[in-house]
Amino acid sequence: MPTAKEQRFIALYEDTKARIAAYVVRRTSSPGDAADMVAETYAVAWRRIEAVPQGHDGLLWLYVTARQLLANRSRRLRRDDALIWRLADELGLLSDYVRAG
């Protein structure tokens, strides 16, 4: 028998999964990225289930959580890209790449 915490999470997930998935899919570039972000959103909700409001406000809480996770991911990807370009430049690979393109 699921605990009260598990029951609350299951109900939250069932009531919101389609809308959160649609929100994330529109903001990611691949199904795999979307799946990762949805999973991460619900992982945060599970860890913080006591902080998740009841009813419609719970959906809003999940939207905000997903938005924050997507923003963090976007910043991480920009930092990674900048690092790759800087390393390529320092190794002399950038000028070769630009000439070849």
pTM exceeds 0.95, yes or no: no
The domain containing residue 36 runs over which residues?
4-73
Instruction: Encode the chain (101 residues) as per-residue pLDDT tens digits.
Output: 889 999 999 999 999 999 999 999 999 999 999 999 999 999 999 999 999 999 999 999 999 999 999 999 888 767 766 677 777 777 776 665 555 55
Q: How many domains does the chain have?
A: 1
Segments of the chain assigned E as strands: none
Query: Quick check: is 64 in a domain?
Result: yes
Query: Quick check: is 23 in a domain?
Result: yes
In 3-state terms, the chain is what percent helix, strand and coil (to 5)? 85, 0, 15
Query: Quick check: is 101 in a domain?
Result: no
Give me the CATH number covering residue 10. 1.10.1740.10
Query: Quick check: is 84 in a domain?
Result: no
